[in-house]
């Protein structure tokens, strides 16, 4: 009892910060429940990648291999993980609530007949967990009944696990998959091309909203500031819906949840759905010409100004600072 299986999502052989937060949460949970933390790395040939996660404090790494796990598909992955969880006798299965974690884990929970808590932000000492509901306006304390419990963790609520100590053993296992039951086909992945840091990895995020007025202005007004700061670029739902920027830049209740050291909101009014995605940032800075905009209520530093004037001024000022 008490063993924790951590689904270690990887992107082309490396583990993003989001995965390391699930490892951290899994280690914390195993410690509190008196069990072992076991990382699982899945793929058609996951052994080499699995070795990478062995240094992060887990007791064991399982390289779960099967040709059907080459590209991620929910049905194959749910089959493989459910069989493994039963075989290992795990009490908890944990992943980060990335697009993949959100897609896979409810299916896995149903396959196991297990209860699931989505996007937990805290692990309590009394068997309960905390998770945000109503766009982060209500924090629910929840409990899961049953021998197996399924959890996704909110990446911004936990630190990333750090490497150190001896590498855990890596054990290769062939996944149990009934290939005849697989009905999904991977067609293609169209990656958003960007040289900037990813939203969930960045120390600084500059986000633009409807106030930018056009996609072109993201390039001419916002991007110089983003690049001067070495920041990631984000956007409000309004900006994404208007087609100014691609969908994966959306920060909010239904987009990405972020908590960087500095979040600069430009031309964003601050609807509760947007605040839900960024209000845990360490420092929030807002630029908006409407002094009544709700974003100012959560901003540590608010500037009521025309963004088309203020943003280039900030960019200039940061340039000067770097050269001083």
Partner 1 sequence: MKILVPIKRVPDPATTIRVLPDGSGIATDNVKWVINPFCEIAIEEALRIKEKQTGEVVLVSVGQSTWQEQLRTGLAMGADRAILVKTDTALDSLAIARIIAKIAGDEKPDLIILGKQAIDDDANQVGQMLAEMLGWPQATFASKVEIAADKISVVREVDGGLETIAFKIPAVITADLRLNEPRYASLPGIMKARKKELKEIAADSLGVELAPKLKIKTLAAPPKRQGGRKIASAQEMVSLLHTEAKVI
Nearer to partner 1, 69 or 170 (CB): 69
Beta bridge partners of 60: 38
Q: Which of 44, 67, 89, 110 contacts partner 1 by CB under 8 A?
A: 110
For 170, 234, 278, 311, the CA distances from 255, given in Å and listed in that order, are 35, 10, 11, 25
Nearer to partner 1, 113 or 163 (CB): 113
Query: What residues contact 258, with CB distance under 8 A and at least 6 apart?
Result: 156, 199, 200, 202, 205, 234, 251, 277, 278, 281
Strands 129-133 and 122-123, sheet pairing? antiparallel
Closest alpha carbon to 42 in 59, 22, 66? 66
State the minimum distance, in angstroms, from the CB of residue 169 to partner 1: 30
Cβ-defined contacts of 278-285 (< 8 Å, 24+): 278/205, 278/207, 278/234, 278/251, 278/252, 279/136, 280/156, 280/157, 281/205
Nearer to partner 1, 160 or 272 (CB): 272
C-beta separation of 59 from 168 below 8 A: yes
Q: Which of 240, 245, 251, 268 contacts partner 1 by CB under 8 A?
A: 240
State the minimum distance, in angstroms, from the CB of residue 234 to partner 1: 13
State the minimum distance, in angstroms, from the CB of residue 216 to partner 1: 20
Q: Which of 78, 157, 161, 251 contacts partner 1 by CB under 8 A?
A: 78
Strands 170-174 and 60-65, sheet pairing? parallel
State the minimum distance, in angstroms, from the CB of residue 59 to partner 1: 27
Structure tokens at 239: 């900006």
Nearer to partner 1, 164 or 189 (CB): 189
Q: Which of 10, 31, 55, 107 contacts partner 1 by CB under 8 A?
A: 107
In this structure, is the dihedral angle defined by the CA atoms of residues 312, 314, 318 and 320, taken in order, positive or negative?
Answer: positive
Nearer to partner 1, 57 or 155 (CB): 155
Q: Which stretch binds partner 1 (CB under 8 A): 21-29, 47-55, 58-66, 93-101?
A: 93-101
String of contacts with partner 1 for each residue 284-323, x by CB under 8 A? xx-x---x----xxxxxxxxxx---xxx-xx--xx--x--
Is 133 an interacting residue with respect to partner 1 (CB under 8 A)? Answer: yes
C-beta separation of 24 from 160 below 8 A: yes
Nearer to partner 1, 59 or 74 (CB): 74
String of contacts with partner 1 for each residue 152-191, x by CB under 8 A? -----------------------------x-xxxxxxxxx
Beta bridge partners of 262: 204, 283
CA distance 232 to 49: 26
Q: Which of 47, 103, 176, 223 contacts partner 1 by CB under 8 A?
A: 103
Q: What is the dihedral of CA 58, 151, 28, 6, to 10 degrees?
A: 0
Q: Which of 169, 179, 216, 254 contacts partner 1 by CB under 8 A?
A: 254
State the minimum distance, in angstroms, from the CB of residue 287 to partner 1: 8
């Amino acid at each position: 009892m008490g063993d924790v299986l951590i689904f270690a999502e990887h992107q082309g052989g490396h583990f993003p910060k989001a995965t390391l937060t699930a490892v951290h949460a899994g280690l914390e949970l195993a410690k509190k429940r008196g069990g072992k933390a076991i990382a699982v790395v899945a793929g058609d040939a996951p052994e080499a990648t699995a070795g990478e996660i062995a240094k992060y404090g887990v007791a064991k790494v399982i390289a779960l291999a099967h040709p059907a796990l080459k590209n991620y598909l929910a049905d194959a992955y749910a089959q493989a993980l459910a069989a493994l969880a039963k075989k290992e006798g795990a009490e908890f299965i944990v992943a980060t609530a990335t697009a993949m974690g959100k897609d896979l884990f409810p299916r896995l929970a149903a396959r196991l007949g297990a209860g699931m808590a989505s996007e937990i932000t805290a692990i309590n000492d009394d068997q309960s967990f905390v998770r945000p509901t109503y766009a982060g306006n209500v924090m629910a304390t929840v409990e899961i009944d049953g021998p197996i419990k399924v959890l996704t963790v909110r990446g911004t609520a936990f630190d990333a696990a750090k490497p150190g100590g001896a590498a855990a053993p890596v054990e290769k296992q062939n996944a149990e998959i009934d290939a005849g039951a697989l009905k999904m086909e991977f067609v293609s992945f169209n990656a958003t091309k960007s040289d900037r840091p990813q939203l969930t990895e960045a120390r600084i995020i500059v986000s633009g909203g409807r106030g930018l007025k056009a996609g072109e202005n993201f390039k001419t007004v916002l991007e110089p500031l983003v690049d001067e700061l070495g920041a990631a670029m984000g956007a409000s739902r309004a900006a994404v819906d208007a087609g100014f920027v691609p969908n994966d830049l959306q920060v909010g209740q239904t987009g990405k949840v972020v908590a960087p050291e500095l979040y600069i909101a430009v031309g964003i009014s601050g609807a509760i759905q947007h605040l839900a995605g960024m209000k845990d940032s360490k420092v929030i800075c807002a630029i908006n010409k409407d002094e009544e905009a709700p974003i100012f209520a959560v901003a540590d530093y608010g500037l009521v100004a025309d963004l088309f004037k203020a943003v280039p001024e900030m960019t200039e000022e940061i340039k000067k600072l770097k050269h001083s």
